């Protein structure tokens, strides 16, 4: 029996990268998975892979930067898969390389809405269902851009730190409801990071040289297993924690 046998998960940003890796890892461990992503084509591809692993999938094409879309994603998950016990907020938005003084209001609000807003709105909508499941688990995502600071990506960094505050506060509020709320702070070879690395090979080499484990993490092999652990009963006494799946690179442990 898998560690998530017969549980239902909603994973946002599941069309690619870390979100997709987590959705598939959950399916391997026995969960049915609602696959949410703004890109319907990639979401459907992930959904097909979940079904190929023998689990139910429901694809939700949505924009988590809009409150109503977050509520719809939760409602569809519950209606189509019969409940909701695990929520993973992996969807994100960033436009690096723009200094603070050059950030316009549109970019600021879009970044905040997708990152911090999307996590908040899905959590708010999911709460009663997570409570009813009897094993509620929320996994949000922090970033070294926030904990370490990142020139040219200040709004994303701020949004990610806002998510940490949200996570810790919700963990204190929702503990009595049997819901655990934790964070992963990854450094992984997601499509976005790989695109940056291809444009900046010297910087990638320098970054990896500073990492104790000497490489970027793999979405499937290094990050998704951490999410499986946090969603499972093995982590039943862990909440309000930031797990640095970063190869030892971050200074905050």
Residues 188-198: tens digit of each pLDDT: 887 776 666 67
pLDDT value, residue 202: 75
Specify if 3 maps to a domain: no
Q: Are 181 and 174 spatial neighbours (Cβ–Cβ below 8 Å)?
A: yes
- On the CB side of 38, how many CA atoms lie within 13 Å of its CA? 10
Specify if 80 maps to a domain: yes
Which tokens belong to 202? 């010297």
Pairwise CA distance, residues 85 & 213, whole Å? 34
pLDDT value, residue 149: 86
Specify if 158 maps to a domain: yes
CATH of the domain at 126: 3.40.50.720
Specify if 203 maps to a domain: no
Question: Is residue 240 helix, strand or coil?
Answer: coil
pLDDT value, residue 148: 87
pLDDT in tens, 46-76: 999 999 999 999 999 999 999 999 999 999 9
Specify if 53 maps to a domain: yes
Catalytic machinery residues: 156
Question: Is residue 89 helix, strand or coil?
Answer: strand
Pairwise CA distance, residues 173 & 214, whole Å? 38
- Domain extent, residue 39, equals 8-190+220-236
Specify if 49 maps to a domain: yes
Question: Is residue 18 helix, strand or coil?
Answer: helix
What does pTM read for this prediction?
Answer: 0.94
Q: How far is CA 231 from CA 63, 73, 226, in A?
A: 24, 19, 9
Pairwise CA distance, residues 185 & 223, whole Å? 9
pLDDT value, residue 216: 83
pLDDT value, residue 146: 80
Domain count within the chain: 1
In the chain, % helix, strand, coil (3-state, to 5) comes to 55, 15, 30
Q: How far is CA 63 from CA 27, 115, 228, in A?
A: 23, 11, 25
Pairwise CA distance, residues 9 & 137, whole Å? 9
- On the CB side of 50, how many CA atoms lie within 13 Å of its CA? 33
Specify if 161 maps to a domain: yes
Pick out the chain residues at pLDDT < 50: none
Q: Quickly tell me which residue has 């971050």 as its tokens.
A: 250
Specify if 213 maps to a domain: no
pLDDT value, residue 177: 98
Question: Is residue 8 helix, strand or coil?
Answer: strand
Could you tell me the strand order of the sheet in which 86-89 lies? 57-61, 32-37, 8-12, 86-89, 136-141, 179-184, 242-243
pLDDT value, residue 196: 66
Pairwise CA distance, residues 120 & 136, whole Å? 16
């Amino acid at each position: 029996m898998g560690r998530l046998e017969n549980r239902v998960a909603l994973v946002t940003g599941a069309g690619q990268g870390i979100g997709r890796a987590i959705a598939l890892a959950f399916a391997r461990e026995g969960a049915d998975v609602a696959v949410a992503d703004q890109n319907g084509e990639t979401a459907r591809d992930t959904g097909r892979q979940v079904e190929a692993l023998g689990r139910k999938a429901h694809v939700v094409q949505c924009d988590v930067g809009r409150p109503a879309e977050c509520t719809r994603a939760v409602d569809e998950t519950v209606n189509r898969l019969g409940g909701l016990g695990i929520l993973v907020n992996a969807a994100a938005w960033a436009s690096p390389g723009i200094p603070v003084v050059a950030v316009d209001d549109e970019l600021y609000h879009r970044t905040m809405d997708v990152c911090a807003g999307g996590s908040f709105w899905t959590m708010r909508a999911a709460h009663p269902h997570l409570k009813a499941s009897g094993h509620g688990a929320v996994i949000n995502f922090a970033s070294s851009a926030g904990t370490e600071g990142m020139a040219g990506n200040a709004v994303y960094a701020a949004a990610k730190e806002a998510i940490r505050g949200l996570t810790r506060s919700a963990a204190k509020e929702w503990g009595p409801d049997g819901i655990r709320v934790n964070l992963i702070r990854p450094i992984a070879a997601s499509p976005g990071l790989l695109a940056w690395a291809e444009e900046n090979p010297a910087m990638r080499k320098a970054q990896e040289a500073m990492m104790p484990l000497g490489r970027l993490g793999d979405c499937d092999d290094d990050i998704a297993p951490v999410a499986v652990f946090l969603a499972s009963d093995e982590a039943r006494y862990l909440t309000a924690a930031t797990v640095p799946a970063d190869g030892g690179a971050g200074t905050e442990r």
